[in-house]
Amino acid sequence: MNDNLTRDAFLGGRVQLLQPRHGYRAGADPVLLAASVPARSGQSVLDLGCGVGAAILCLGARVPGLLMTGVEMQPDYADLARRNGGDQLEVIPADINDLPLDLRARQFDHVMTNPPYFDKAARRAGKNGGRETAVGEVTPLAKWVKIAAKRARPKGFVHVIHRAERLPDILKALPVHMGSIEVLPLTPRAGRLAELVIVRAKKDGRAAFKLHAPLILHEGSRHEKDGDSYVPAVKSILRDGAALDF
């Protein structure tokens, strides 16, 4: 294996991912996003900005028999996603602003995305270009949301994980035909403000908006010691591949 790569275990070893040793590296966020997608065997799933494939491959490990497609603009990451996914993952190297015609002609039961969290123009660029592209927002968040909605089939779902302060932007960007909107705040500890949100919307959905009680990630009111402090439900998601029902 190339010295610039590492092989990392997710879901207790059920998913093995090659990742860059330096640069953007997948953590808990794509695993939590994958756990929130209520996909069923035989359904199709599109991951926009799939990176090395962490989210979609964790979803595929929990729900066998999915038709999985990932889009990734960075060639090195797209290549790793292809190597990580093998025959089970179709990887399309493309910018979401310029998707191939054949992909624009397709729609999916579930579209998931973990867009870059930070405004690239508002922060100092780091030395690693791959990480900067992964975490620095170049394409506006609203564009990510609208493109995801276009790729969802009627009655299909869009799933987004992002910073909590961007929730108004996500809700504003959802087209009018995206309904049955649900929001799950993720807070690091009891009594703390939510730092992330998972947003789910259904094309042509008509159910009332739901703001769920926050999912608390860690035990205790503060970080006391090194090591794993996840609450049992979150530990089961991250280690055992359990679903995140909300």
pLDDT tens per residue across span 99-151: 999 999 999 999 999 999 976 554 455 554 444 444 445 799 999 999 999 99
Task: Give kind and range of the element (H or E) at residue 25.
Answer: none
Tell me, what's the pLDDT at 119?
A: 64
Beta pairing partners, 10: 15
Q: In whole angstroms, how large is the CA radius of gyration of the chain?
A: 17
User: Per-domain residue ranges for the chain?
Assistant: 5-240
* Range 5-240: architecture per CATH: 3-Layer(aba) Sandwich (3.40)
Are the beta carbons of 91 and 50 closer than 8 angstroms?
Answer: yes
Q: Tens digits of per-residue pLDDT, 184-211?
A: 999 999 999 999 999 999 999 999 999 9
Percent above pLDDT 70 for the chain: 90
Query: How far apart (Å, rounded) are the C-alpha atoms in residues 149 and 152?
Result: 5
Which residues, including other chains, have CB under 8 Å from residue 135's CB and lie 6 or more apart?
24, 116, 117, 118
Q: CA dist 241 to 11, 34, 42, 55, 88, Å?
A: 5, 9, 19, 11, 18
Tell me, what's the pLDDT at 221?
A: 74
SS3 (DSSP) at 61: helix
Q: CA dist 240 to 10, 21, 31, 203, 245, Å?
A: 9, 25, 11, 30, 15
Residue with the bigger pLDDT between 123 and 30: it is 30
Are the beta carbons of 122 and 135 closer than 8 angstroms?
Answer: no
